[in-house]
Amino acid sequence: MAVQAPGRWDAALIGAGLSSLSLAWRLAEDPGTSILLIDGRRGDEDRTFAWWSRTAGPFDALAWRTWETLDVRVGGADIPLALGSWRYRALRARDLRRVVLARLAQRPNARVLRGRAEAVEDGPDGVTVVVDGQAHRARFAFDSRFDLGTPPPTPGRVSLVQSFQGWWVEADDPAFDPARATLMDFDVPQGQGVGFTYLLPETPTRALAMAVRMGPDVDPPPLAPWLDARVGPGRWRVTATEGGATPMTDAPFRRRLCDHVLSIGITGGRLRASTGYAFGRIQRDSDRIADSLARRGHPFDLPADPWRVRMADAVFLRLLADQPQRMGPVFARLFTEVPTDVVLRFLDEGGGWMDLLRVMWAVPNRPFLAAAARVVRARLLSR
């Protein structure tokens, strides 16, 4: 039987990852909002978040590097991307956690609780979260817990996985240009799905190399041969690792789990299904949740993703599932024939109808039209 903790919180945030930390930062801007952050991490694992932006954000100062130029490599050719007004940034999760927890520590009505949420029980006037046998009451709970089975496979939808394996490497000699990051290098063994690597240099001798696989739940491409070719055999060493896996699906995510519980982050569908980018979407979602609470007294007045974004994601994922060998050339056409500003808007949030039409016009039409037809047919048959 759970022991009841005294008092009631305005917001109970379940989890202490990117989405909970971002929302806690926004909610803490209102000194009258009481916040309980439930941190169920078993260790102090670290990871890197990277994102696009054209405007200033609350965590820009935490970035360990900002890039104005990126490279994409396909078929042995390098495609340089000048970002114009956009910037590409990367920060460490531990730095984000440090500043958010420091802000909460200054608030008498905020608490960080280490423990595992065992149950979430909705009630007529709020929610109860049971943490290690103790019940904590709140007006609303925000649940960021997820696994690769969320949402479950749905008829007529695509369910894939994006898996990551990252190595922080130190080179014996200068081997990296800190002013240029490699966004995608498709010149790696492909196997199942689509594989690529990216490189985020911090100094001329230190960088994060990440191998990525989009497709079935299989391992990313091997990093060692790629680094040997880039830096030289025996000329580099691994100093730290990070990794993980995220869902790639056009299946719908539930936002309002019950009367007083909202799903956030990946489990709330805030990861862009076709690209895996989540940082910017989570920041915008946090702003909207805080705004809904201030205007409406509840966090549920949130806009749905535009239909064009959901349809573009569904078509992209269908092509990825059916013809993964086409994705390298598709990205090459995208980055060479569409203005960089349009591509970045499309990758980040979907852009507008004109952006979508320019992207669809540039990529090979026949496979995309076939994928779109399959999406529509699958949706109709699943009804």
Segment 204-232 shows an average pLDDT of 93
Give pTM, 2 decimals: 0.94
pLDDT by residue (tens digit) across 145-160?
A: 988 777 887 888 999 9
pLDDT at 314 over 90: yes
C-alpha neighbours within 13 Å on the C-beta side of residue 40: 17
Q: What span, in angstroms and rounded, lies between the C-alpha atoms of 94 and 193? A: 31
Cβ proximity of 280 and 344 under 8 Å: no
Cis ω on the peptide bond leading into residue 151 (within 30° of 0)?
Answer: yes
337 or 63: which leads in pLDDT: 63
Q: How would residue 274 be classed by pLDDT, with cut points 50, 70 and 90? A: confident
Closest CA to 57 of 259, 282, 301, 254: 282
pLDDT at 219 over 60: yes
The pLDDT of residue 140:
98
Mean pLDDT is lowest, of 93-107, 276-290, 339-353, for: 339-353
Cβ proximity of 317 and 160 under 8 Å: yes
Q: What span, in angstroms and rounded, lies between the C-alpha atoms of 46 and 63? A: 14
In angstroms and rounded to an integer, the radius of gyration of the C-alpha atoms of the chain is 22
**What percent of the chain shows pLDDT beyond 90?**
68
Domain 159-247 has CATH 3.30.9.90: yes
From residue 87, alpha-carbon distances to 50, 70, 155, 198 in Å are 10, 10, 38, 16
Q: How would residue 139 be classed by pLDDT, with cut points 50, 70 and 90? A: very high
- The three-class DSSP label of residue 370 is helix
pLDDT at 76 over 50: yes
pLDDT by residue (tens digit) across 6-45?
A: 579 999 999 999 999 999 999 999 999 999 999 998 766 7
The pLDDT of residue 331:
83
234: left (phi over 0), alpha (psi -120 to 50) or beta: left
Query: Which residues, 6+ apart, have CB-to-CB distance to 289 below 8 Å?
Result: 23, 26, 142, 262, 264, 299, 302
Domain 3-150+250-296 has CATH 2.60.40.1220: no
